[in-house]
Structure 1
Amino acid sequence: MTDFSLSDLEKIVAERANASPSESYTAKLKAMGVSHVAKKLGEESTETVIALVSQDDDRVVSESADLIYHLLVALNLRGIPAADIFSELGRRTSTTGLEEKAARPPDGPREG
């Protein structure tokens, strides 16, 4: 078991985002912009789903790590600290998931 946390990863992402793109994959992603990182996050999401459904546990762990990393990079680029996500999760878990969903405002009219 490791003591490594999401907070540790968030700090590393923030540090590496300010490095030279020639020295850091995180900095290279930052240079490509949030739209590129969002697409990469979508790819990693799909790969994680595929791994969950049809691959071994090692692959699930590997793809999940990629997904979390790219999410933290995207949040960093948007200036959203992970603490904001955890605060929202904390707020939501103060009730059951069904109660929380029922309390959400309804979606507006859908187009198309």
Structure 2
Amino acid sequence: MTDTDLIAELWDVIVDRRLHPVEESYVNSLLSHRKGIDKPLEKVGEEATEFILAVKNGESGRIAEEAADLLFHMLVALNAADVDLSLVLDELASRRRSR
């Protein structure tokens, strides 16, 4: 499985959980929280802070863990905001081509 396949698979799971909720699903707990989109956004902020601190403190093992947490929560927040991952990937691609 390639890196892009892994991200696409994760995105597909997030989309599927939104369309077909599973009661015990962490993704569903974020997407259906009483705080609405604020809950996944809070998690993005929390994970971003933890990532920054891990990098600042040179904790190499934690950096990868926190980066994974941040990426995951960003994907959930994108879905909660009704923004498809393809739009983000297209934007990244357009930036790469223009430089």
Question: Under TM normalisation by the shorter chain, which class is it?
Answer: 0.7 to 0.9
Q: TM-score, normalised by structure 1?
A: 0.75
Deviations 1:13-45 (A, max 9, x none): 11233323x410100001112111111101111
Q: How many percent identity over aligned positions?
A: 30
Matches within 5 A, 1:1-112: 3=2, 4-17=5-18, 18-20=20-22, 22-32=23-33, 33-96=36-99
Deviations 1:65-87 (A, max 9, x none): 10001000011111111110011
Of Structure 1 and Structure 2, the greater helix share is in: 2
Gaps of 5+ in 1: 97-112
Gaps of 5+ in 2: none
The letter for the 2-side match of 1:75 is: L
Q: TM-score, normalised by structure 2?
A: 0.84
Q: Which entry has the higher C-alpha Rg, 1 or 2? A: 1
Equivalent pairs counted in the alignment come to: 94
Shift of 1:91: 1.2
Instruction: Indicate the RMSD between aligned Cα atoms, in angstroms.
Output: 1.5
Paired with 2:64 and 2:21, the residues of 1 have a C-alpha distance of 27
Shift of 1:95: 2.3
Paired with 1:12 and 1:31, the residues of 2 have a C-alpha distance of 15
The letter for the 2-side match of 1:19 is: P
2:97 aligned counterpart, secondary structure:
coil
The letter for the 1-side match of 2:90 is: S
1:93 aligned counterpart, secondary structure:
helix
Paired with 1:25 and 1:81, the residues of 2 have a C-alpha distance of 20
